[in-house]
Amino acid sequence: MHLPIHNSESQTPPLLIVSVT
């Protein structure tokens, strides 16, 4: 679940992903 964060970090902020996980 850490890889997607780096991938989306460019377009979407990690905060959004952290909320999902």
DSSP H or E segment with residue 14: helix 14-20
pLDDT, position 2? 58
pLDDT, position 4? 57
The model carries a pTM of 0.14
CA distances from 11 to 7, 14, 15, 17 (A): 8, 10, 12, 12
pLDDT, position 8? 52
